[in-house]
Structure 1
Amino acid sequence: MSSFFCSGAPRRPSILALAAAGLFQAGAAWGVEPFVLKDIRVEGLQRTDPGTVFASLPFRIGDTYNDEKGAAALRSLFATGLFKDVRINIDGSSVVVVIDERPVIANVNFVGLKEFDTEALTKSLKDVGIGEGKPFDKALADRAEQELKRQYLTRSLYGAEVTTTITPIERNRVNVSFNVTEGEPAKIHEIRILGNKVFSESTLLGLLEQTSSGWLTWYTKTDRYSRAKLNADLETIGSYYRNRGYLEFAVTSTQVTISPDKQGIDIAITVSEGQPYTVAGIKLEGDYLGREEDFKHLVALRPGQPYQGEAVALTTRMFTDLFGTYGYAFARVDSRPEIDRKSGQVVITFTAEPARRVYVRKVIISGNTRTRDEVIRREFRQFESAWYDGAKIKASRDRVERLGYFKDKEVNIDTQEVPGAQDQVDVLLTVVERPTGAITVGAGYSSQQKLSLSGSIRQDNVFGSGNYLGIDISTAVTGRQLQVSTVDPYFTVDGVSRAIDMFYRTTKPINTLGEEYQYITKGGAVRFGVPFSELDTVFFGVGYEQT
């Protein structure tokens, strides 16, 4: 039997083999003449199903085997990630595939882990290939170790040490253990701001989210260094200056120094304030659809005021929104300052390109696993096959949020161009459902009423229909009560709501003379809510009660 393909580093032929190769045919020393396969055998399997191997082979019994097919078979088998080593041996007219399987991970555990949630970390590792039942890959384990160290750095634990221990066990399995020594988090010892002249250092430090260690930082943890938080703090300082006329403010350098014991951090921020600028004028350039006056009313800056970066950004955003109400979903608005350093003035030019007007082809809803589509669609003010209207789309999103069936801040609307149609867009609404029902049970005891029991079932979105249903029951020695309520928010297609309440009560008054009697009260009510605007609804109703 001879071996022609193997994994790992290529084997060096001996001097004798080289001499033999020279005497015969140099090209045949490491190749094989094509032949017709009569048998295929697989050796070395312990866990992997043989079908997995055969499915990866590019040849079958009866095919002509050659070097190219052998190389392709090796690539395909290694691509499965299940094998540590693969060899193909030729035995006459048979191919023998010799497999060395990767060990399987039996267990993943963490020792000394406090800063992170073990369950969440285990799930994250499993998503990248380190988990129970998965083939063990040393490269993935090393990568996971480095990523865990990086996560500790984001928590200011610069002295954290992570070591990975691989323990082989029976049946070609391994236990993977991440041993963590977290240590103490590094704390910010001092923050200095250099180069500031207009505003005091204490004023600027008061703007920062990160602070030096103090008597409350053990609770707020604001003295833990984070690069992301530092970048946010630098942006906060920049916004503070730019909103007070310092258009050319810049952070020239940021120096972070860690003490030798990795427990203390000093931060030095050097700034260049520049000079203050006053707005000398506002210009509008580009195509404003002949509605320049409407856009001018939205400008949040006035000549003579100090330059304000937030006001410029707000104006740009409001211009874009106004274009959206006219159907221009892809309008582009840019601001350009024209600086005169001698006079300390700036002229701000807003340039607009409305692009093309579009209409909505479809409204696509996703994420509503329980709530019916029609319940969401009836809240929409942007209709399909109508011109795109940014204001109506925002109103639609707000109305869907007010339903209360979806998680807060998880109602998102996006606009997507339709391929091949420049004047059409699809509106994509994504929601995340949340529980809308509640069951309550209560019990009480008093000297007069003795034991009392109560319970209720409420569902704001019955069977995903958008209707409300509530049932309340209570019982005690002095009386009982049953009440059923239901609300249909869209009793008519125009949005008129209908509410129905029905109740049944029995009451046994306390009588000092020893007489026993009871009141029985039953009745109901119906109410209609008529919407007069998006936010105003007037209710009309009638009720009946019999005792």
Structure 2
Amino acid sequence: MKLNQLVAAGVLLSSASFATAAQNDSQFVVEDIKVEGLQRVALGAALTYLPVQVGDTMNGFRITQLIRSLYSSSHFERVEILRDGNTLLVRVSERPTISNIIFEGNDDIKDEQLQESLDGNDIRVGEPLDKTVLTSIENGLKDFFYSIGKYNADVTAIVTPLPRNRVDLKLLFEEGDAAKIKQINVVGNELFSDTELLEGLELQFDTPWWDFLSETRYQQQTLQGDMETLRNHYLDRGYLRFNVDSTQVSMTPEKDGIYITMNVSEGEQYTISDVELVGDILGHEDYIRAVLPLTPGELYNQAEVTYTEEFISNYLGRFGYAYPTVTTVPEINDEDKTVKLTLSVDPGKRIYVRRITFNGNTITADRVLRQNVNQMEGTWLSNGLLESSKGQLSRLTYMDDVEFETIRIPGEDDMVDVNFSVKEQPSGSFNAGIGYGDRTKLSLQAGIQQDNFLGTGKRVGLNVSTVSYQRSAQITYNDPYFTIDGISLGGSLGYSEFDGSDFNVIRYNSKQWSVGANIGYPINQFNRINFGLVYANVELYNRGYYEQTEQFYNQFVGSGDPDAPIEYDTLEASVSWSRSTLNRGLFPTAGSSQRASFSITTPNSDVNYFKSVLDTKFYYPLSRNQRWSVLARLRLGYGNGYGEINGNEQILPFTQNFTAGGADTLRGFENNTVGPRGVLRNSSPGASGPGGEVYPGDPDNDTISISRRSLGGNAMALGGLELIVPTPFVEEEMDNSVRTSLFWDIGNVWDTEFDYDKYSQLEQVDYTYGALLDYSDWKQYRSSAGISVQWISPMGPMVFSFSRAIKERDGDDAKFFTFNIGQTF
């Protein structure tokens, strides 16, 4: 077939050529249209991009339009327009389809961030590749590396052809090392020294090796922030005319060092001559004036001006004015160095909430989340209520992250929708299997434990387990929203068999079954009070004869058979108060929590005692992203008996004693070994009478020995500090499931009823487990330090601790490494 070429056009935008050749007969009427070279694009779709139909007259202008239309479709890499008689022939070469996108060598930019950047340029798997944008992407990524001080960085886009017109796209990164800041100079400062000005900047230089929080790598964005910090330093001290005149950033020839120079003009101090409030303040002018920190006669302070604007905005937001405009207009008098501040307030319209929605909750029902939201639909929009709602949702143990946004409704200037975006996390586990821990040894367990049962927000537990020291079965239930007002109702039923010798305490065995109920009342969003009542039946047997336990056993055991088991019933009433402002339910990094409880057995119980416990934790974030944080914690406890039974003064049952040592109390010591040990008293041999009768020996000649196991005590004081740090080799997104901390633990357990003088004069015959100590002395504390890693694993919470005892007492069992599965954090 002979083809008469009308126009041959090879067009490649930005990287291809465009050429035309025309015959003498430059126009013709199109009788047919053919398209060649199509592979992925359907013929019907290709024809839609042709602004030409059969019967149209073709000329140079129409050909140019046709070529532009085909390229604008983004499907074609090359286009040719040919003529065969009166047939218009369009030959195309399609752009290759991206089969795979690979990132290699990128450390400072995550794959997800890179893919977002490519998405913005319509480069994604399954889409045609526009090679013309690759150069701009390379240059854009290089600019990013330059902005963070990596001036030797290089980015190369490699396109590998594949069969069926497909390609692999690889972005190869050579980041290199970041340029370090060699020196920062401030020129023109006379009022403040270089040291005082530079210590407040985020960028640092010549820092000691231990100051690992310092940022010595140059970053353009950080420098901009430091310039603002420098400016605020002067403005907060009244230097209203301060200015950073210029900034020079120079580089060493090797591109590995940066010198920064900031030229400043300090000016003079200005005082406030007057503060005026103008605009509509909704009748709250007297209150706002009373709390404003801006006072005539004082030095101008930019921080206080900003605080005032934010305070007024937030205050008006409490009454539904969610979008107020507060502007401070300064009138500067350079002659007397004063400034008049005019606060212009425009509250705008009162905003109402039309609808509250939730997204991201695939398990938790909307009504459960709504129960924790203080902002109501149909009422004023309150920023305070929204923030408190976010905090309350975040403290749920089954929530990983919570955010909210207000969405303006088109056509409505006084209504918004509020959308809460939540990210859930596992709130329990179905378990059946075998475990091992240095505390529990071999364990078998089966059951279910859920804090968000079937998405209802109810806590349900059914567990059966057997470990070296205990076999137990327990059913628990709690409905945190039994009523719409947030009253909770719960109960428990349990049975256990316990062996003290395998728990690192003195020898005894017990069987216990119990049934209980509790009810809780919210005081406000942070505080809650709970009441409980538990009936328990306890049987003790296989006793050990220790001085500290004899007084308790003597209440029940007759002289006929001292080894007989004892059994008693108790009805225990309790009241507790809890408060939490933590930012998360698990692995918090900011806020505090406190819990105080008091329990007492009723007078009709077989034993009468009381216990009180105070547990408090404070989290102090050290960095803006809160990956660095300090935890300070304190736990106090005291218990004792009250009244008498059969002439015997009641004491706290030793089964209720506090113990310490191990993962959740004093790391660095064997579990439950810290504190008083059992004292064994051996009577001296008696004399025989002439009739064969035996006379008791002199008690002053008795001997004592100390048990290997701990007895615990009726008083406890434990505390510690932890530096929470980013976990090495773990991404930031995993901070809610993996935590690493450097810790220092300190504390003691003691017995206020122990009479040291009663035994100190007796001979001790066995020092295998240490010498007798004054177990009533609270000052005999222990301490340890180390590193701990906590992980919410698929098998349950796991704790790994490496620690060393700093202060230990005679007979203590120090332990370098401990791990436990299923411990609470």
Say whether residues 1:31 and 2:22 are aligned partners.
no
Aligned-residue offset at 1:453: 3.0
| Structure 1 unaligned regions, length at least 5 | 22-28, 512-516
Aligned-residue offset at 1:341: 2.8
Judged with a 3 Å threshold, the aligned counterparts in structure 2 of structure 1 residues 454 and 288 are, in CA distance, closer, same or farther, namely same
Say whether residues 1:458 and 2:449 are aligned partners.
yes
The amino acid of 2:241's aligned partner reads E
Say whether residues 1:199 and 2:195 are aligned partners.
no
Say whether residues 1:537 and 2:528 are aligned partners.
yes
2:197 & 2:437 partners in 1: Cα distance? 60
1:304 aligns with 297
Aligned-residue offset at 1:168: 4.3
- Whether contact under 8 Å (2:469, 2:500) holds in the other structure is yes
Say whether residues 1:473 and 2:464 are aligned partners.
yes
Q: For 1:167-182, what aligned pairs fall within 5 Å after superposition?
A: 167-168=160-161, 170-182=163-175
2:264 aligns with 271
Judged with a 3 Å threshold, the aligned counterparts in structure 2 of structure 1 residues 175 and 389 are, in CA distance, closer, same or farther, namely closer
The amino acid of 2:216's aligned partner reads D
Judged with a 3 Å threshold, the aligned counterparts in structure 2 of structure 1 residues 346 and 445 are, in CA distance, closer, same or farther, namely closer
Work out which structure has the larger RCO, using CA pairs closer than 8 Å and 6 or more positions apart in sequence.
Answer: 1
2:220 aligns with 227
Aligned-residue offset at 1:532: 3.2
The amino acid of 1:487's aligned partner reads N
2:363 & 2:354 partners in 1: Cα distance? 25
Judged with a 3 Å threshold, the aligned counterparts in structure 2 of structure 1 residues 92 and 157 are, in CA distance, closer, same or farther, namely same
2:527 & 2:143 partners in 1: Cα distance? 53
Q: Per-residue CA shift, 1:170-207, capped at 9, x if unaligned?
A: 55444544454433321111110011111101111111
Aligned-residue offset at 1:299: 0.4
Aligned-residue offset at 1:284: 1.4
Say whether residues 1:411 and 2:403 are aligned partners.
yes
The amino acid of 1:276's aligned partner reads Q
490-499 or 156-165: which moved more? 156-165
1:426 & 1:106 partners in 2: Cα distance? 43
1:292 aligns with 285
SS in structure 1 opposite 2:399?
coil
1:430 aligns with 420
1:419 & 1:386 partners in 2: Cα distance? 19
- Whether contact under 8 Å (2:322, 2:351) holds in the other structure is yes
1:487 aligns with 478
Judged with a 3 Å threshold, the aligned counterparts in structure 2 of structure 1 residues 52 and 396 are, in CA distance, closer, same or farther, namely same
Aligned-residue offset at 1:491: 0.5
1:76 & 1:102 partners in 2: Cα distance? 15
Aligned-residue offset at 1:467: 1.8
Say whether residues 1:377 and 2:370 are aligned partners.
yes
1:305 & 1:442 partners in 2: Cα distance? 70
| Structure 2 unaligned regions, length at least 5 | 12-16, 503-507, 539-825
Q: Per-residue CA shift, 1:311-347, capped at 9, x if unaligned?
A: 1111111111222223323322211223233333333
1:365 & 1:313 partners in 2: Cα distance? 33
SS in structure 2 opposite 1:143?
helix
Aligned-residue offset at 1:225: 0.9
1:25 aligns with none
1:272 & 1:42 partners in 2: Cα distance? 70
2:547 aligns with none
Aligned-residue offset at 1:85: 1.4
Judged with a 3 Å threshold, the aligned counterparts in structure 2 of structure 1 residues 284 and 221 are, in CA distance, closer, same or farther, namely closer
Q: Per-residue CA shift, 1:417-459, capped at 9, x if unaligned?
A: 433334x311423323130324477734899x97433467433
Aligned-residue offset at 1:211: 1.4
SS in structure 2 opposite 1:297?
helix
1:164 & 1:11 partners in 2: Cα distance? 28
TM-score by length of 2: 0.57
Q: Per-residue CA shift, 1:377-409, capped at 9, x if unaligned?
A: 22333322223444333333333333344344x
The amino acid of 1:32's aligned partner reads F
1:190 aligns with 183
430-439 or 126-135: which moved more? 126-135
Judged with a 3 Å threshold, the aligned counterparts in structure 2 of structure 1 residues 243 and 455 are, in CA distance, closer, same or farther, namely farther
Aligned-residue offset at 1:280: 3.0
Aligned-residue offset at 1:234: 0.8
Aligned residues: 521
SS in structure 2 opposite 1:433?
strand
2:443 & 2:281 partners in 1: Cα distance? 70
1:500 aligns with 491
Aligned-residue offset at 1:214: 3.8
The amino acid of 2:403's aligned partner reads V
Q: Which has the higher helix share?
A: 1
467-476 or 248-257: which moved more? 467-476
The amino acid of 1:499's aligned partner reads G
Q: For 1:46-85, what aligned pairs fall within 5 Å after superposition?
A: 46-50=39-43, 52-53=45-46, 56=49, 64-67=55-58, 74-85=67-78
Q: Per-residue CA shift, 1:268-318, capped at 9, x if unaligned?
A: 001111111223332212222233111112302223332211111111111
Q: RMSD in angstroms over aligned alpha carbons?
A: 3.5
Q: For 1:275-354, what aligned pairs fall within 5 Å after superposition?
A: 275-354=268-347
Judged with a 3 Å threshold, the aligned counterparts in structure 2 of structure 1 residues 413 and 300 are, in CA distance, closer, same or farther, namely farther
The amino acid of 1:488's aligned partner reads D
TM-score by length of 1: 0.83
Q: Choose from 151, 155, 162 the match for 1:158.
A: 151
310-319 or 398-407: which moved more? 398-407
Judged with a 3 Å threshold, the aligned counterparts in structure 2 of structure 1 residues 349 and 119 are, in CA distance, closer, same or farther, namely closer
Aligned-residue offset at 1:45: 3.4
The amino acid of 2:534's aligned partner reads G
Judged with a 3 Å threshold, the aligned counterparts in structure 2 of structure 1 residues 182 and 318 are, in CA distance, closer, same or farther, namely closer
Q: Per-residue CA shift, 1:223-252, capped at 9, x if unaligned?
A: 211110001111111111111111222111
The amino acid of 1:539's aligned partner reads N
1:218 & 1:181 partners in 2: Cα distance? 28
350-359 or 292-301: which moved more? 350-359
1:146 & 1:135 partners in 2: Cα distance? 21
1:524 & 1:59 partners in 2: Cα distance? 86
SS in structure 2 opposite 1:222?
coil
498-507 or 137-146: which moved more? 498-507
The amino acid of 2:464's aligned partner reads I
Aligned-residue offset at 1:481: 1.0
1:237 & 1:135 partners in 2: Cα distance? 49
